[in-house]
A = this chain, B = another copy of it.
Amino acid sequence: MTDWFHWINLAGVAVCAVSGTLMAYQKRMDGFGVVVLASVTAIGGGTLRDIVLDIPVFWVQDTDYLYSTLVAALVTIIWLRFSPRFPYHYLLIADAFGLALFNVVGMEKALIHDAPMVVAIAMGTITGVFGGLLRDVICREIPLVLNGELYAITCIIGGVAYAIARHYGFESQWCVIISLATTVLMRLGALRWHWQLPVFRIE
């Protein structure tokens, strides 16, 4: 993968680490709790993806990801000591970009290892949402990704957009850009207009 890809990927990991640290703050955890929640949120999804694909786990290969997680957690802790207000709004927007990027990274990794397209879409979604799901399970929340606004479904739609672009012969970087744009726009739209996807008719 090219160099800018690596840097954006590190940024995505950092954004997720910040969201894990904020959850630890809300739950009044201390010390190790912060490290665990930040790490699980940041690298949990990619770890499961690499294990299921049976390829080397990315943060064992490249320790930059561990350092990125720790630095992001540390900066967030220092920020929160000086100011209990945190720019949640910007975090949600950064998170939308992180989600879209993790989704594409997961798909590309799966396709490089000759996985079928439906498996690649599953891998993109796992990379995008599994870290947040683990974070919520550990904190005894019903995972946010499971009910409420569109979250993971935007990964699936971004993955389908990738598959369609690829099917019509677009080059790889265009597939990536189309998928990223679709996921980010869907997610920002869901945040702005509170889109939901009711499947059950519950009286």
Which A residues form the contact surface with B (CB < 8 A)? 24-25, 27-37, 47, 51-54, 56-57, 59-60, 63, 66-67, 77, 80-81, 84, 115-116, 118-119, 122, 129, 133, 137-140, 142-143, 145-147, 150-153, 156, 196-203
Within the complex, what minimum Cβ distance (angstroms) separates A29 from chain B? 5
Cβ–Cβ contact B60 & A150, under 8 A: no
- 14 CB < 8 A contacts A-B: A28-B202, A30-B147, A31-B153, A32-B145, A32-B156, A33-B147, A35-B156, A36-B145, A37-B146, A52-B57, A60-B119, A63-B119, A77-B199, A81-B201
Cβ–Cβ contact A66 & B140, under 8 A: no
Which of A32, A63, A196 has its CB near the most chain B CB atoms (within 10 A)? A32
The complex is assembled from copies of this chain, and their number is 3
Cβ–Cβ contact A198 & B30, under 8 A: yes
Taking CB atoms, residues of chain B closer than 8 Å to A202 are: 25, 28
Within the complex, what minimum Cβ distance (angstroms) separates A4 from chain B? 24
Taking CB atoms, residues of chain B closer than 8 Å to A156 are: 32, 35
Taking CB atoms, residues of chain B closer than 8 Å to A138 are: 133, 137, 143, 146
Cβ–Cβ contact A30 & B199, under 8 A: yes
Cβ–Cβ contact B118 & A32, under 8 A: no
Bound state CA distance, A33 and B31, in angstroms? 31
Taking CB atoms, residues of chain B closer than 8 Å to A133 are: 36, 138
Cβ–Cβ contact B32 & A200, under 8 A: no
Cβ–Cβ contact B199 & A153, under 8 A: no
8 A-B pairs with least C-beta separation: A31-B197, A33-B146, A32-B152, A29-B147, A32-B153, A52-B57, A63-B118, A63-B116
Within the complex, what minimum Cβ distance (angstroms) separates A143 from chain B? 6
